[in-house]
């Protein structure tokens, strides 16, 4: 039987590269399209090494519709995953137009081309950022979205709406938005992982760079929040577990199991972990001492958020499995491989 093919737009990036590995492990063919604006070919090489397959890669800007069209002319995929977006919250406040243009145009081009070429299934990378500061924990898919606090967050809300409305209009097409919580860690092989550019904005890359001596000291942003130890709480999800959620979402659509043309799933562990718990866990698991200090709160931070992943568990048949300790060990192994 001919293998199903999946287009992974943004597949040279952190989550896209891990997802490509899991798609191939599940028996799909993959073609990666990426403009390398926030990634490097080494991720594609890493994917090829892990899978033993010369995964096709096309360097293309998904915002350039005519160039993107050629990928559709050349490859016969029926499903696509859209990772191709800019993701730095702070930068989005300074350069809103870059975020609106890149994140929305690349998605709209993908949807339009899928429609034009008669291709059917789309998975979209959404984010728990759409919930803002929730009134109740854990958050379910029914938890209301709050007004976005950054242009980046706004692009995720707008993208969800664009996908919902277009799937409704384009008969036969299906879309799934996955709302990721906080993806961390790296592939067990340490051949792929997160490659932050410049000073990391996210917690775990800052932790691993501090442990490696690249950063002098980790700032823990606030210890006076109304949480058990005073630091913020998040739902940290292993990147391979997250990657597998995409395989499940594609499978659901390919197998005709979707309950409507547009669906949304929370992809988290269901477990809230504080910044201080994460820092101490990292030290314990890896046997390293982290230089950290308590710093003032970071503007715009959510106090606490974690997922209710029941819907993904029951409908997608997917569950986060990797223990946090293993994920923290993989993050350190990856950091050390970068020397
Ligand atoms: P990443 O930056 O590592 O990956 C994104 C990839 O898309 C990069 O390889 C980049 O070069 C590519 N890209 C960007 N714009 C493009 C364009 N116009 N054309 C072609 N390629 C383009 O980021 P990631 O962490 O892997 O995130 C993937 C997706 O998941 C993004 O949409 C992001 O917003 C979303 N997301 C990420 C997180 C997170 O914490 N990492 C959380 C929630 C949602
Ligand atoms: C986690 C916790 C910080 C760095 C962001 C985006 C969100 C999503 C994931 C894409 C917070 C604390 C951090 C540091 C710290 N991305 N921290 N010292 O803020 O939950 O979410 O990434 O969709 O949209 O907003 O993740 O990793 O930045 O922070 O104390 O040096 O770690 O205050 O409590 P966040 P993060």
pLDDT tens for the chain, residues 1 to 339: 678 999 999 999 999 999 999 999 999 999 999 999 999 999 999 999 999 999 999 999 999 999 999 999 999 999 999 999 999 999 999 999 999 999 999 999 999 999 999 999 999 999 999 999 999 999 999 999 999 999 999 999 999 999 999 999 999 999 999 999 999 999 999 999 999 999 999 999 999 999 999 999 999 999 999 999 999 999 999 999 999 999 999 999 999 999 999 999 999 999 999 999 999 999 999 999 999 999 999 999 999 999 999 999 999 999 999 999 999 999 999 999 997
Distance in angstroms (rounded) separating the CA atoms of residues 275 and 287: 18
Asked if residue 96 belongs to a domain, the reply is: yes
CATH classification of the domain holding 48 = 3.40.50.720
Domain membership flag for residue 123: yes
Residue 202 falls within a domain, yes or no? no
Report angle CA 198, 104, 197 to the nearest 5 degrees: 5
pLDDT at 57: 99
Phi, psi of 107 (to 5 degrees): -70, -45
Ligand nearest to the CA of 179: 1
SS3 115: helix
Structure tokens at 46: 């890493």
In a domain, 163, yes or no: yes
Is residue 223, in this structure, part of any structural domain at all?
no
Contact 319, 268 (CB under 8 A): no
Closest ligand relative to 295 C-alpha: 2
List residues near ligand 2 (CB under 6 A): 87, 89, 127, 129, 182, 201-203, 206, 218-221, 232, 234, 275, 298, 301
Q: Which two tokens stand for residue 273?
A: 């972990």
Of the listed 28, 131, 152, 180, which one is catalytic? 152
Tell me whether strands 273-274 and 233-234 are parallel, antiparallel or unpaired: antiparallel
Ligand 1 pocket by Cβ (under 6 Å): 10, 12-16, 34-39, 61-63, 83-87, 102, 106, 125, 127, 180, 182-183
Examine the residue annotation and report whether 152 is marked as an active-site residue of this protein: yes
205 within domain boundaries: no
Residue 22 lies in a domain: yes
Q: How many domains does the chain have?
A: 1
State the residue range of the domain holding 136. 5-184+236-268
Structure tokens at 40: 């490097």
pLDDT of the residue at 99: 98
Ligand 2 pocket, mutate which of 132, 202, 303 (most atoms under 8 A from CB)? 202
313 lies in a domain?
Answer: no
State the pLDDT at residue 22. Answer: 98
What pTM value is reported for the model? Answer: 0.98
Q: With beta carbons less than 8 A apart as the criterion, state whether 147 and 132 touch.
A: yes
Peptide bond into 138 cis (omega under 30): yes
185 and 17 Cβ atoms separated by less than 8 Å: no
């Amino acid at each position: 039987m001919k293998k199903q093919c999946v287009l992974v737009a943004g597949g040279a990036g952190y989550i896209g590269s891990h997802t490509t590995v899991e798609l191939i492990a599940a028996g799909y063919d993959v073609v990666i399209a990426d403009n390398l604006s926030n990634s490097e070919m080494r991720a594609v090489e890493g994917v090829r090494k892990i899978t033993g397959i010369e995964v096709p890669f096309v360097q293309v800007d998904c915002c350039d519709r005519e160039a993107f069209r050629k990928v559709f002319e050349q490859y016969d995929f029926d499903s696509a995953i859209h990772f191709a977006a800019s993701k730095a919250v702070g930068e989005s406040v300074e350069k809103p137009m870059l975020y609106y243009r890149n994140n929305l145009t690349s998605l709209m081009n993908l949807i339009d081309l899928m429609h034009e070429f008669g291709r059917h299934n789309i998975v979209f990378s959404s984010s728990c950022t759409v919930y803002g500061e929730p009134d109740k924990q854990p958050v379910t898919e029914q938890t209301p979205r709050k007004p976005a606090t950054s242009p980046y967050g706004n692009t995720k809300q707008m993208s969800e709406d664009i996908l919902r409305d277009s799937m409704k209009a384009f008969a036969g097409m299906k879309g799934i938005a996955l709302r990721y919580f906080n993806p961390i860690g790296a592939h067990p092989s340490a051949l792929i992982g997160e490659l932050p550019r410049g000073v990391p904005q996210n917690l775990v890359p800052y932790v691993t760079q501090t442990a490696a001596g690249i950063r002098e000291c980790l700032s823990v942003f606030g210890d006076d929040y109304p949480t058990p130890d005073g630091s913020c709480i998040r739902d940290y999800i292993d990147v391979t577990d997250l990657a597998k959620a995409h395989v499940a979402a594609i499978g659901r659509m390919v197998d005709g199991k979707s309950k409507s043309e547009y669906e949304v799933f929370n992809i988290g562990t269901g477990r809230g972990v504080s910044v201080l718990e994460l820092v101490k866990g990292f030290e314990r698991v890896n046997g390293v001492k982290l230089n950290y200090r308590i710093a003032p709160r970071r503007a715009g931070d959510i106090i606490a958020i974690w997922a209710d992943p029941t819907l993904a568990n029951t409908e997608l048949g997917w569950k986060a499995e990797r223990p946090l300790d293993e994920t923290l060990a993989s993050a350190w192994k990856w950091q050390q491989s970068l020397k």
